[in-house]
Amino acid sequence: MKRQVAVIGLGRFGYWVAETLVKEGCEVLAIDTDPEKIQAISDLATFAVQCDATDERALKAVSVQNVDVAVVSIGENIEASILIVQTLKEMGIKQVIAKGVTAQHGKILKNLGVSEVIFPERDAAIRLARRLVSPNVLEYLELAPGFSVEELTVPDHMSGLRLCEAKIQEAYNVNLIGIRKKVTRMVKGRMTTDEVFNVTPSLDDVIEKGDILVLVGKQEDLQRLTKSE
């Protein structure tokens, strides 16, 4: 059975969420007060409805109460965001994910019982800043305050070493959870390059320049590793 998701608020963030969900095979109920935004997404979403999501009767009329998840992507109008989340929770929707604008806004949303608060602009800014400070950091994801997952290109001083020689965990107190490598091989008479992901690296595995390490740990420890060259 397809997962049913309501996306309320069709700005750039909401539109991209809806578009990705459709591509992943979900049924999407797209809601906004702006008729132009509804028109723009009408050929993409399973259902596209123009209505005021702060009105519980309007939401019930389009059967929002039947969805598995509701994504509230209204950020600029904080009052409307809070009212919509409160209404959705009162309607019995168990999983509500909401876009937050400020820390205080996020705290209120959490107090209303949302499953997760997303801060798209803040998170994008943090990832960009981390890449600018440490160019060998390709991707960054905060797991909890003070802890993150990072994709890091192999530092020059570790290239050619076995993992037991690199001593990543012992020296930096971070855990290696995977290695991405590019492998070149002959296929039907032609050389092709594929990316392979080793999710169970052993201490005898050799890491080379160009490999990508997937690491998890405290941000301060990860930063020591990224600046160790």
Could you report the per-residue pLDDT of 128-176, keeping only the tens digit for each? Answer: 777 777 767 777 777 777 888 888 999 888 999 999 999 999 999 999 9
The boundaries of the domain holding residue 151 are: 123-226
Is 218's pLDDT higher than 70? Answer: yes
Based on the fold, state whether residues 9 and 100 are members of the same structural domain. Answer: yes
Q: How many domains does the chain have?
A: 2
Buried b vs exposed e over 143-167: b needs ≥16 C-beta within 10 Å? eeeeebbbbbbbbeebeebebeebe
Contact 62, 88 (CB under 8 A): no
Based on the fold, state whether residues 207 and 222 are members of the same structural domain. Answer: yes
Question: Where does the chain have alpha helices with state H?
Answer: 12-23, 35-41, 56-61, 78-90, 103-111, 120-133, 163-166, 168-172, 219-226
Q: Reduced to 3 states, what is the DSSP secondary structure of residue 62?
A: coil
Q: What is the pLDDT of residues 40-65, one digit of tens each?
A: 999 999 999 999 999 999 999 999 99
Based on the fold, state whether residues 86 and 169 are members of the same structural domain. Answer: no
Average pLDDT over all residues of the chain: 89
Based on the fold, state whether residues 221 and 163 are members of the same structural domain. Answer: yes
Of 99, 118, 137, which residue sits at a domain end? 118
Structure token pair of residue 144: 């909890």
Percent of the chain with pLDDT over 70: 98
Assign 3-class secondary structure to 64-85: HHHCCEEEECCCCCHHHHHHHH
pTM of this structure: 0.70
Based on the fold, state whether residues 51 and 111 are members of the same structural domain. Answer: yes
* Integer Cα distance of 207 and 217 in angstroms: 20
